[in-house]
Every structure is written in C-alpha cells, then in structure tokens.
Amino acid sequence: MAKPMFLRQALWHFRISLAKLLVGSKATSPHFAFIGAGSTGHLCSRIAESGHRDVLVVTDGPLRELGLADSAVAPLSAKGVRLHWYDGVKPDPTFTHVREGAEALKSGNATAVLAVGGGSSIDAAKMIALMAEADSEPESWVGFQKAPEDAAPIYVIPTTAGTGSEATMGAVITDENDHSKNVISGSAMLPRAVALDPDLMLGLPPMITAATGMDALTHGVEAYIGRWERGTRRETASMCIRGVFEWLPRVLAEPDNAEARLGMAVAAYYGGVAINQVNVGSIHAIAHQLGSLYHLPHGVANNMVMPHLLRVYGPCAEAKLTELGPLMGIDAAQSDAAGRVIDAIELLGVNSNLPTTCDAISKKDYPLLISRAVEESDGYVSPRLLTEGDVASVLDRISA
Ligand SMILES: [Fe+2]
C-alpha cells in the first residue's frame, strides 16, 4: 500500500538533507575527457601509460561484428596491451550480463575495463569493474551510493550521444526476475577517462540518433529544474540543452557531419556531468517503467513522457523552465515562456520522428506502472513529489 503523502514528503526532505550533508560538498574524482576526431587513440595511450597490460573490452555483438569495437581499441594492441573481450551486452543489461563479464575479467586477469558502445555497454562495464574487487552480490548494491568503494579502473568510448553514462557514477541494471530497472551508484563507478570521438558515430541510424539525443535533453532539463542547487549543474545542464537544440536537427539532416556528431557527443557528455551532480528526475522514474514493461527504448520513453510531465508540474517548475527559453531561442520575457519552452521540447521530439504514444500501454498495467514510478520518483530531487494522479495523467496522454 502506498505511503500517505505527508510521510513521503517528510522522508523526501530528510533524504535530500542527508544527501546534501553526505555528498553536497564533495568534488567528484579526477576524470578526463579527450574530445574530437582521433581521441580514441589518445585514450588508448593513456590506458597503456597507466600501466595496464591486460584490459577487458566490454561491448555488444553488433559493434563487434561491424568491426567498430575492434578498430576503436586497435591502438591498445599496438602498444602491447593484451585485450580480453566480453561482447555479450544486450539492450537493458541484466545482472547475468554483469556476472558473465566479471568471469571474463577474472579469467583474463584484466586490471582495467574499457567500454565501447552505448549506455548499455557502459553501465554493464561499470558493474563488471565493481565485481573485480567485490565480495558481495551485485543485487545488494541497488540504491543511492551503495556500490562497493573499490573497482577496476573504468575507461569509456561512447558510440552514441545521449546516455551521459560516460560522465556519471551510476548504472541501470535490469533484474530478470521481476523486469525491474535498478539504479546502482557509487564514486568508484565514475570512469577515469573517456574519448568523445565523432568518427565512431558517423552514420548512426536516425532512430537511435534521435532517441539518444532526446535522452540527453531529458538529462539537461531534469538536472536544471530539480530542487538541489549543487556544483555546476546549472551551467553544464545549460550547455547540454543548448547543444541538443543546436546539433540534433543538424545531425539528423546530415548523419555524416562530423562537426554535428561532435556537437551532440559534447552536449550528451555535459548532460552526464550535470546529472552526476544532482541525478535525473521523475521523467526518468516514469520512463524506466515503460522500458521495463514494454521494452520501449530509454530515449523514446523519456521523449514521450517529458512534455506531459513538465506540464503536470505546473507552477513549481515554471520559473526554471522560463530560464531555459534563451537556450532554444525563446525570449524569457514573453508571456507564458515556460509553456513555449515545453512546446519547443515537444516539437523537437516530433521533428526528430520519435513516437509520441505507445500502443502497448494498458489500463490493467496502471497500478504497477504507477506504484513503481512513484516509488522511484521519491528518490529524486525533482521539482516536487509525484502523485499517483500525476502518473496516471501522463499515462493517459501517451496511451494510443
Ligand atoms: Fe536517461
């Protein structure tokens, strides 16, 4: 049974105060981003210079078959580093993937983990790196900052621009038993260094480009409108939002434009830097349930939910949404600037050819979707707590 709102409010404020006390003044660990064409080579040099002789590469089957993963890490072999592979990651990685990858890590005596791929490979790689030192089961790490404090060093070469996982200390892992999506976080999960190389993203299919791009935008928006003022979240979220509005239409029109691909890679990275400070929000809380139950791709689900939940928030998000106007060419002094911002976000998703409704959503699933979304949202510093009615209202709007 759902907790009464007064109790949720009290627990929510307590958790926010505790988070501010525990991590509010902490800087994140040293982290480097190599940026631009050829930056994968610089990252490989850094890994080799750090003394690693055996490295586990974590990727997915299609990237391996295309030869993209092998060519990205070829500079490591050229420097005499032995490569070990786990290429079994699938979309929405599971604890089974984590265990399989950990076996490959241990059997190869690898001392570092290098993710090549999208968010699924990056998240799996972080968990596999934690398994190197762990004496507990990964299911027990679910929750805020519950991951072990030690991990093998993690390096990342993203091949999509959206997840931001290359800049965060979190991962989302699916539990095959109940299909739930579980957030695991801890400072050891922050990658040591990343390469944002547009050459690896040229020709990425339009649907993946659009969906991951709108995921990045969701990160920027949720980090900006949340109620926790911390670090550089306003500045980095702004750079993400401005970048997505500038480069996503361009990259969809010109998939082989390296400048536009780099613009999106940097925007997505800044979205990751922003959420690494204040986390995502309740758009993700609802979208994760749609991913779990209907296997909607993460960015597609976020894009579907975002404009509706922003409208549901009403006055509590209005001032911050208004501030976002100039990042997308909207005069903040105009009447109803916040509404225009939401309209612009919605239009960007539509113009990117992403679906706005989902046939699979069924009324019989509402109780499960609502209870899980509300429970997850209680862990975020969104503009306000979600009510069950808020979630139902969003679901009504995106049901076909
Ligand atoms: Fe996301």
DSSP string, 166-194: GG-SEEEEEETTTTEEEEEE-GGGS-SEE
Q: Which of 208, 178, 389 is nearest to 289 (CA)?
A: 178
Dihedral through CA 26, CA 27, CA 30, CA 36, nearest 10?
140
* Residue entry with tokens 């969003």: 394
CB 154 within 8 A of CB 127: no
Q: Using the mean position of ligand 1's atoms as its centre, give its distance from the Cα of residue 69 in Å.
A: 23
> Residues with Cβ < 8 Å from 310, sequence gap 6 or more?
221, 225, 283, 317, 321, 342, 345
**Cα 74-121-40 angle, rounded to 5 deg:** 30
Rounded to the nearest whole angstrom, what is the distance from the C-alpha of residue 258 to the centroid of ligand 1?
Answer: 24
Which tokens in the block code for residue 260? Answer: 């536009």
Q: Tell how far the Cα of 214 is from the centroid of ligand 1, in angstroms.
A: 9
- The per-residue pLDDT for range 272-307, each reduced to its tens digit, is 999 998 889 999 999 999 998 999 999 999 999 999
Q: If you measure from the C-alpha of residue 212 to the centroid of ligand 1, how many angstroms do you get, rounded to a whole number?
A: 8
Q: How far is the CA of 122 from the centre of ligand 1 (A)?
A: 13
What confidence tens digit (pLDDT) does each residue in 233-273 have?
899 999 999 999 999 999 999 999 999 999 999 999 999 99
DSSP 191-232: -SEEEE-GGGTTT--HHHHHHHHHHHHHHHHHHHHSS---TT
Backbone angles phi, psi at 321, to 5 degrees: -65, -40
Structure tokens, 254: 């010109």
Q: What is the mean pLDDT of each run of 10 residues along the chain (400 residues)?
A: 80 79 63 92 96 98 94 95 97 95 97 97 98 92 89 97 93 89 91 96 94 98 91 91 98 97 97 91 95 93 98 95 96 94 98 97 96 91 92 94
- Going from the Cα of 334 to the center of ligand 1, the distance in angstroms, rounded, reads 30
Separation of CA 51 and ligand 1 centre (Å): 33
**Domain locations in the chain as residue ranges:** 32-200, 204-398
- Report the distance separating Cα 60 and Cα 46, nearest Å: 23
| CA–centroid distance, residue 203 to ligand 1 (Å) | 22
Q: How far is CA 160 from the centre of its chain?
A: 11
How many C-beta atoms lie closer than 10 Å to residue 2's C-beta? 12
CA distance to 12, 172, 374, per residue, from 268 (Å): 28, 17, 27
Q: Can you spell out the DSSP letters for 36-98?
A: STTHHHHHHHHHHHTT-SEEEEEEEHHHHHTTHHHHHHHHHHHTTPEEEEEEEE-SS-BHHHH
Amino acid type, 50: S
The CATH number, out of the four listed (1.20.1090.10, 2.40.50.140, 2.60.120.10, 3.40.50.11540), of the domain defined by the range 204-398 = 1.20.1090.10
| pLDDT at position 24 | 64
Fold classification of 32-200 (topology level): Rossmann fold (3.40.50)
Phi, psi of 35 (to 5 degrees): -125, 130
* pLDDT in the model for residue 29: 53
Calculate the alpha carbon distances from 32 to 29, 156, 167, 190, 196 in Å: 10, 10, 9, 11, 11
Q: Output the CA 119–ligand 1 centroid distance in Å.
A: 9
Q: How far is the CA of 285 from the centre of ligand 1 (A)?
A: 10
Q: How far is the CA of 219 from the centre of ligand 1 (A)?
A: 6
How, if at all, do strands 180-185 and 32-35 pair? unpaired
The per-residue pLDDT for 354 is 98
Expressed in angstroms and rounded, the spacing between residue 390 Cα and the centre of ligand 1 is: 20
Dihedral angle, C-alpha 114, 118, 120, 126, nearest 10 °: 30
- Say if residue 96 is exposed, middle or buried (CB neighbours under 10 Å; 0-12, 13-18, 19+): middle
Q: Could you write out the three-class secondary structure of 26-53?
A: CCCCCCEEEECCCHHHHHHHHHHHCCCC
CA distance 107 to 360: 42
Name the percent of the chain lying above pLDDT 70: 98
Give exposure, 38-54, as e/b (b: 16+ Cβ within 10 Å). ebbbbbbebbbeeebee
Distance 266 CA to ligand 1 centre (A): 15
